[in-house]
Every structure is written in C-alpha cells, then in structure tokens.
Amino acid sequence: MDLAEIWRVMRRRWYVLIPGLVLTAALAAAVHLLVPVEYQSQSTVTLLNSKKATEAFDGNPFLSTQTSLTGMADGLARNLNSDGAVADLKALGLTGKHEAKIADNALGPFMWLTVTGTDRAAVLKSDEILTAYAQKRLDEFQTQQTVRPEAMIRMAVIVPPQEPQAQTKSRIQFLVMAGALGFVLSLVATFFVEARKRRGPGRHRPEAGEDQGDGPEARATEPQERPAVAPVSRTEEPAVERTLGIRRPPSWARSGQDGPAAAQPEAPQPVMAAPTTAEPLDEESTHGHRPHTGQ
C-alpha cells in the first residue's frame, strides 16, 4: 500500500479519522493542563583549604588546592542526598526535589546544589536553604572529628542560587507521546473500518488448512457440483430418422409371395414427408417388429 492509497482510505473513512483526531487534541490539552510546569534553581559552591594550609600562600585559599578536597566534596554530596538530610531540609522549609553532586567537568572540588519544584518562588527559597545547610553539614563533619577551627575546610559560594527557570522538556515529551498515541490509534481504527467494509459483514475467509466443519455454513461455502449429464447414445437414432427410413415394406415381408408377380419389382412408393414430431408407428405396418432402417 502506497501513500496515495493511504490518503484515499483516509478520505473515504473521514467519519472515523476526524473524531479520533479530535480526541487526540483533547488528550493533548488534558496533558497540557494536568502536567504542571517545573522550575529549577541551581547554585555552585567550592571547598577551600583551611587558613593554616594557606599561610604559605599569604592566606590565598585558591592557590593551595589538594586532591583531598575533591574527596571531601564527594562525601558531602552523598550526605546531602541521604534520607536524614531530606528530613532535615523539609523541617527547615525546603519544598520540591533537591540534588547535590560534583559539577560536570570540574577541575576542582566544585559542587552543584539544585532544587526543582512547581512553585517558582518556593524553588528559589529552597535553593538558598540547601546552600546554607551544606555549609552547616561541612562544619558538623569536622567538629565531630575535633578539628581545630584554623584547620577546618571552608566553603565558598561561587554562583549563588539562580532565578528559577522553567523546565519544559518533560512536559513536551508527554505532549508528543499523547499526540503520537492518539494519531496512531485513529489510523488503526480507520483502516480497521476500511477492512471490515471491504470484507463485508459476517463473511468469513477460512485460512489455508482450516477445518470448515460439517455444518450448513461450511456446506454453503463449498463449491456446488454440477449434476452429471447422461451421455447420449450414438446407436440410438432419432424418431425422425426412423420415420424417414420406411420407404418400402421390409424384405422379410415380401419373401412369402410366389409366381412371376413376386419376381417383378414393385413400384417405389412415395416417400412420406418427415413429421415435425416423432409419431408412433402403425401396428399394421410394423407387424410388431422393428422397422428396417434401409441398410
């Protein structure tokens, strides 16, 4: 089936296709209304060396970086994503979903703190809460290990919580899925109706090797055999030919005559015209025997 045939089927069965497309549009509108728009805010922080470790660099923490800071950043991110941290953040007023991880393609101990939600103002406030909580958890780790204040790792905010941005990717995906599903179902219904119309109601086409049974429906589908025509015997002559063959009395009827009169040939009798229909022979002319056919 080519595109032209598909277009002709769609035009013939427009009464099936158009309602399907209307339902598809209604489904897409429902998805647009029911799936809310999500907003996302993100901040970027980094871990810095302690004041004691930066004395050799005149107190500049950005000149003294160590690989241990990256490990500490990974441990802090894992702690912020734990169930205990989720409960603490909700108690502090965080709404939505948050995530903490090492920044992609980072060349140092940089972390991304992200909050996603449907309320734009609440998302920005929640990101600020998450950033402050990350600093608090870093200090608690070191306090538990009895680290002196001058030797503690510090945190610096590189990018503060940004204005929430709408995230439309997931919403567009749902809209595309709803539209594609509705369109496909509309086409399936259209071609199903076309197939039923071509096939006819109640008609069954048995597959190859399928047993049709012995019921009246199976007998109705079987080809009817023509009645055998009895062959016409070639030896049987029509009644007309038998009538035309009687020109003179048979020879056995003349065998009883004596004398010269018998030797004289008889005058030929006139030939009778052939009747249009076969008539029975007279009993006196045939004398109860089969007439001679003139052989």
The pLDDT value given to residue 97: 93
Q: 187 and 152, same structural domain?
A: no
The per-residue pLDDT for 243 is: 47
Q: Is 47 found in the same domain as 18?
A: no
Handedness of CA 242, 246, 251, 252 (dihedral sign): positive
72 domain residue, yes or no: yes
- Quick one: 52 and 94 in the same domain? yes
**Residue 295 confidence (pLDDT):** 40
Structural tokens at position 250: 């048979």
Q: Are residues 141 and 182 both part of a single domain?
A: no
Number of domains in the chain: 2
242, part of any domain: no
Q: Are residue 93 and residue 188 in the same domain, yes or no?
A: no
Instruction: Compute the distance between CA of residue 185 and CA of residue 183 in angstroms, rounded to an integer.
Output: 5
Residue 195 domain-assigned (yes or no) = yes
Same domain for 129 and 29: no
pLDDT value for 98: 93
Closest to 117 in 3D by CA, of 105, 109, 125: 125
CA–CA distance, 264 with 31 (Å, rounded to integer)? 124
Query: What domain range includes position 184?
Result: 8-34+169-199
Same domain, 14 and 87: no
Low-confidence ranges of the chain (pLDDT < 70): 1, 200-295
Please state the pTM of the whole predicted model: 0.57
Residue at 20 is within a domain? yes
Judge if 116 and 68 occupy the same domain.
yes
Is 13 a member of any domain? yes
What's the pLDDT at 110? 92
Q: How many angstroms separate the CA atoms of 17 and 165, rounded?
A: 39
pLDDT of residue 40: 94
The phi, psi pair for 247, rounded to 5°, reads: -105, -35
Domain closes at, from 114, 148, 167? 167
Are 48 and 161 in a shared domain?
A: yes
Please check whether residues 12 and 155 belong to one and the same domain.
Answer: no
Asked which of 144, 167, 190 is the last residue of a domain, the reply is 167
Q: What pLDDT does 248 receive?
A: 58
Q: What is the CATH number of the domain that holds 130?
A: 3.30.70.1130
Specify whether the CB–CB gap between 150 and 51 falls below 8 A: yes
The pLDDT tens digits for 89-130 are 999 999 999 999 999 888 889 999 999 999 999 999 999 999
Indicate whether 269 belongs to any domain.
no
In 216-242, which positions are buried (b, 16+ CB within 10 angstroms) versus exposed (e)?
eeeeeeeeeeeeeeeeeeeeeeeeeee
C-alpha triplet 247, 251, 254: angle, nearest 5°: 105
Asked if residue 271 belongs to a domain, the reply is: no
Residues 30, 52 share a domain: no
Q: Per the domain annotation, does 248 fall within a domain?
A: no
Looking at the structure, do residues 132 and 191 belong to the same domain, yes or no?
no
Q: What is the pLDDT of residue 201?
A: 55
Domain boundary among 143, 167, 191: 167
